[in-house]
Amino acid sequence: MKYMFNRKIGIDLGTCNSIVFTPQKGVVLSEPSVVAVSLAENKILAVGKEAKEMTGRTPDTIRIYRPLRDGVIADYRVTEAMIRYFVKNAGPRIRILKPELLIGVPAGITSTEKRAVIEAGMAAGAKGVYVAKEPLLAAIGAGIPINSCSGHMIVDIGGGTSEVAVISLGGIVTCDSLRVAGDKMDQAIADYVKKKYNLAIGEQTAEEIKIKIGTAIPEKEEREIEIRGRDLISGLPQNIRIKSNEVCEAISDRLADIVQTVKMVLRETPPELSADIMDKGMIVSGGGALVKNIDELIAQSTGVPCFIAEDPLLCVAKGTGIVLENLDAYKKSIMTKKK
């Protein structure tokens, strides 16, 4: 019965997708971080999948918000509504008890941005809000023993931010955050298609291309996909076929930025920990880990073995669950804040 009196909810609050995790049930909700607002009544119409389906298809009276930009809150009110929706749909129907929330935030966020997350959580009806750095949560969720005294490296590529961290003894030793990740790759694909084919495509189409045929290294056997967009010359709808190596070319600059950040963190890592990382390799998590061959690209560029985490999309969310179950053990490695 103790769960009834002690509701704990972990939220991986992502720029693209948010995942809600409870220690008893695991992942209870996985929805796009999108909110649809009706401008006339200033009312929230839809959150998550339902709102994402409206993207690019709304009349003037409805606005689609992605309240998080680059991993941080860009629109406070809409974020609060989104967190409230997650909390409401996460647990049992008993509403008497306010839950404790653990929210993952980018390692590079400022104290003001951190405070905004805490306040949004409190305003959404939480009893207390804990904030933890995403690379730590991703490492815990990927099964890395973060409290051991050997060094571990995690590369967490999300929608808005890519974070590279070296972790030892339960804390982050060196870390760098880059506001280049899945979103910027989608944008690069859309720009490429526009330039090469004179075709305008929406962000959902660009994301679909990346997921279905994206690759980090040119492939011998190319895959292809048919896409539809608006011809920029005639203004009419048109279909074209695009190949995986074209996608590779389109996102290569963005991937190079991420590799550069990995190299920078490796350069700043103390020699003892570098030896551990060479030994064990680094782990890639987050949605960006699903881009085909990304582990190979990073390994080739740095000379350090690289592995994709199991369930890379869920690493941060799983990490929140593990931390919530063992809050006392993790107190020192996460920033806590209660009201």
**Running along the chain, 339 residues long, what does each successive block of 10 average in pLDDT?**
63 90 88 90 88 86 88 86 87 70 87 89 89 92 89 93 92 91 94 95 91 93 93 94 95 96 95 92 94 95 95 92 83 59
Residues ≥6 apart with Cβ < 8 Å to 87 = 9, 99, 101, 124, 125, 126
Give tens-digit pLDDT for 183-242: 999 999 999 999 999 999 988 899 999 999 999 999 999 999 999 999 999 999 999 999
In this predicted structure, what is the pLDDT of residue 108?
A: 81
Together in a domain, 248 and 160: yes
Together in a domain, 114 and 210: no
Phi, psi of 57 (to 5 degrees): -130, 15
In this predicted structure, what is the pLDDT of residue 4?
A: 47
In this predicted structure, what is the pLDDT of residue 300?
A: 96
Residue 104 and residue 320 in contact, taking contact as beta carbons nearer than 8 Å: yes
In this predicted structure, what is the pLDDT of residue 148?
A: 85
Q: What is the span of the domain harbouring residue 167? A: 144-309
Burial class of residue 2, CB neighbours in 10 A (0-12, 13-18, 19+): exposed
Together in a domain, 180 and 232: yes
Give tens-digit pLDDT for 259-277: 999 999 999 999 999 999 9
Instruction: Give the three-class secondary structure for 315.
Output: helix
Together in a domain, 296 and 158: yes
Residue 263 and residue 228 in contact, taking contact as beta carbons nearer than 8 Å: no
In this predicted structure, what is the pLDDT of residue 6?
A: 64
Apex 291 CA angle, 237 and 298, nearest 5? 140
Q: Which of 303, 315, 297 is nearest to 214 (CA)?
A: 297
Q: Tell me the C-alpha to C-alpha distance, in Å, between residue 160 and each of 12, 108, 182, 222.
A: 13, 12, 6, 28
Per the structure block, which two tokens stand in for 125? Answer: 């009806």
Together in a domain, 205 and 333: no
Distance CA 35, CA 78 (A): 7
Residue 72 and residue 108 in contact, taking contact as beta carbons nearer than 8 Å: no
In this predicted structure, what is the pLDDT of residue 1?
A: 36
Together in a domain, 303 and 332: no
Distance CA 172, CA 132 (A): 12
Together in a domain, 107 and 91: yes
Nearest-Å Rg of the Cα atoms of the chain is: 21
The residues pairing with 225 across neighbouring beta strands, listed in sequence order, are 242
Q: What is the pTM of this model?
A: 0.89
CATH number at residue 46: 3.30.420.40
Residue 306 and residue 281 in contact, taking contact as beta carbons nearer than 8 Å: yes
User: Per the structure, how many domains does the chain have?
Assistant: 2
Together in a domain, 158 and 103: no
Together in a domain, 59 and 32: yes
Distance CA 325, CA 143 (A): 15
Together in a domain, 121 and 241: no
In this predicted structure, what is the pLDDT of residue 73?
A: 87
Distance CA 337, CA 309 (A): 30
Together in a domain, 18 and 125: yes
Q: Which of 90, 40, 32 is nearest to 65 (CA)?
A: 32
Phi, psi of 270 (to 5 degrees): -55, 145
In this predicted structure, what is the pLDDT of residue 327?
A: 78
Per the structure block, which two tokens stand in for 196? Answer: 């090469």
Together in a domain, 194 and 334: no
| Residue indicated by tokens 């056997």 | 221
In this predicted structure, what is the pLDDT of residue 3?
A: 43
